[in-house]
């Protein structure tokens, strides 16, 4: 059909091609980021044997159960260099103010890491930090639609600037994180793909963490006005995992998972106990679901007409594809036979064709 258009109306054809190319160019960032975000499921496992922390002696020789490490071992140990500096970051912005049980959880972590620098990022100091160290991101950071986006973006920024460990307020340490300090980046595996950003360790000015900071602008988008996809795709776990999967060599970007027969050992989904944490179960995620429903019904005003329009367009194109006219013609030929009109077989064939 397009070929016929090319022959009969070459100018319209050329115009269509140019408009098509310009549209693709205009939406290139959206197309690239959407593709990366949607293909994470397929791209994530690439190179997994290299980036998963391994218990094998010929690889990392790491005890994934932590049972062989002392509860208070706060450095990498005699055989390794400490790549992660001794700094603990906690972030409590907006309504995510530290409640009683969160303060207890944080104190448990501080007690297990004596002598470490402890940084608490609040509404009082976070803005100044971003203004000073990442002025080019301040405008975006202040205007994020959800507090959790500002918290997530700040995780990457403080981790890049200072290095150390970033911990969610609802993670209660049950042992020191020292044995992991020999890796320049560590985060726990999430399910089914990617990693959780509630716990991350990194060296100062880590290249990958720098990419997490620098890519924030490109991925800053409101997805259908819905909080869950907006947060996950612009700053959250899905965003960070996507950037991880885009790196050509991921062998230094370590992911902490269990052994093959107990892969979810370190997963922080829901209120769980792992070898290193008690996860209290963040209430912020609970309120998320509620606000998702509220926002769905609020945005119904525009997504219902949009849906109807889309459905109408789909029906229109399907009808064209089915070549309704051809079907009608065949029906008429058939009827003329039934009504005893003199029509030879070849005549009918000809009409149908």
Ligand X SMILES: *[C@@H]1O[C@H](CO)[C@@H](O)[C@H](O)[C@H]1NC(C)=O
Q: Which of residues 42-71 bind ligand X (CB under 6 A)?
A: none
Q: Within 111-130, which residues bind ligand X (CB under 6 A)?
A: none
- Residue 139's alpha-carbon distances to 93, 168, 239, in angstroms, are 17, 25, 20
Nearer to ligand X, 56 or 249 (CB): 249
Residue with nearest beta carbon to ligand X: 249
Cβ atoms 274, 265 nearer than 8 A: yes
Q: Which stretch binds ligand X (CB under 6 A): 189-197, 248-256, 297-305, 327-335?
A: 248-256
> In a 3-state reduction of DSSP, which class is residue 268?
coil
- Residues near 77 by Cβ (< 8 Å), separated by ≥ 6? 69, 178, 179, 182
Q: Per CB under 6 A, which region of 166-174, 245-253, 265-273, 295-303 contacts ligand X?
A: 245-253
Report, in Å, the least distance between residue 212 CB and ligand X. 18
Among 249, 297, 344, 346, binds ligand X (CB under 6 A): 249
Least distance in Å: CB of 177 to ligand X?
22
Least spacing, CB of residue 36 vs ligand X, in Å: 20
Rounded Cα–Cα distance for residues 70 and 228 (Å)? 39
Q: Buried b / exposed e across 181-204, counting CB within 10 Å, b at 16+?
A: bbbbbbbbbbeebbbbbbbbbbbb
Note whether 283 binds ligand X by CB under 6 A: no
CB of 204 to ligand X, least distance (A): 18
Using CB under 6 A, pick the residue from 60, 82, 207, 252 that binds ligand X. Answer: 252
Q: Which of 29, 70, 107, 251 binds ligand X (CB under 6 A)?
A: 251
Nearer to ligand X, 59 or 320 (CB): 59
The smaller minimum CB distance to ligand X, of residues 9 and 46, is found at: 46
CB neighbours (10 Å) of residue 267? 19
143 CB neighbour count, 10 Å cutoff = 10
**CA distance linking residue 350 with residue 251, whole number of Å:** 66
Nearer to ligand X, 252 or 347 (CB): 252
Contact 49, 251 (CB under 8 A): no
Q: Which tokens sit at 115?
A: 């002598």
Stretch that binds ligand X, among 83-91, 107-115, 158-166, 247-255 (CB under 6 A): 247-255
Question: Smallest distance, Å, CB 251 to ligand X?
Answer: 4
Concatenating the DSSP letter of every residue in 17-56 gives HHHHHHHHHHTHHHHHHHHHHHTHHHHTTTTHHHHB----
Piece in contact with ligand X (CB under 6 A), picked from 113-121, 244-252, 274-282, 298-306: 244-252
Rounded least distance, CB 155 to ligand X, Å: 24
Which residues are at the interface with ligand X (CB under 6 A)? 249, 251-252
């Amino acid at each position: 059909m397009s070929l016929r258009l090319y022959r009969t109306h070459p100018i319209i054809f050329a115009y269509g091609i140019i408009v098509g190319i310009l549209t693709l160019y205009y939406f290139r960032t959206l197309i690239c980021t959407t593709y990366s975000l949607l293909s994470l499921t397929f791209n994530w496992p690439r190179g997994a044997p290299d980036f998963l922390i391994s218990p094998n002696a010929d690889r990392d020789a790491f005890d994934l159960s932590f049972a062989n490490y002392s509860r208070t071992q706060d450095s990498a140990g005699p055989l390794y260099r400490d790549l992660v500096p001794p700094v603990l970051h906690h972030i409590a912005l907006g309504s995510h103010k530290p409640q009683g049980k969160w303060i207890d959880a944080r104190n448990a972590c501080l007690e297990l890491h004596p002598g470490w620098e402890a940084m608490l990022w609040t509404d009082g100091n976070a803005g100044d930090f971003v203004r000073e160290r990442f002025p080019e991101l301040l405008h975006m950071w202040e205007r994020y639609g959800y507090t959790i986006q500002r918290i997530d973006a700040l995780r990457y920024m403080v981790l890049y600037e200072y290095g150390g460990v970033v911990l969610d307020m609802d993670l209660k340490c049950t042992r020191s994180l020292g044995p992991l300090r020999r890796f320049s980046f560590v985060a726990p595996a999430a399910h089914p793909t990617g990693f959780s950003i509630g716990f991350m360790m990194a060296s100062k000015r880590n290249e990958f963490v720098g990419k997490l900071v620098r890519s924030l602008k490109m991925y800053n988008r409101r997805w259908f006005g819905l909080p869950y996809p907006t947060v996950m795709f612009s700053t959250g776990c899905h965003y960070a995992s996507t950037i991880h999967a885009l790196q050509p060599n991921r062998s230094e970007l370590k992911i902490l998972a269990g052994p093959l027969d107990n892969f979810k050992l370190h997963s922080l989904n829901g209120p769980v106990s792992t070898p290193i944490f008690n996860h209290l179960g963040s209430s912020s995620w609970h309120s998320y679901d509620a606000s998702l429903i509220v926002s769905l019904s609020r945005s119904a005003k525009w997504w219902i007409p949009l849906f109807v329009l889309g459905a109408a367009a789909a029906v229109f194109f399907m009808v064209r594809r089915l070549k309704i006219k051809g079907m009608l013609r065949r029906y008429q030929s058939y009827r003329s036979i039934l009504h005893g009109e003199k029509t030879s077989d070849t005549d009918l064939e000809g009409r149908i064709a």
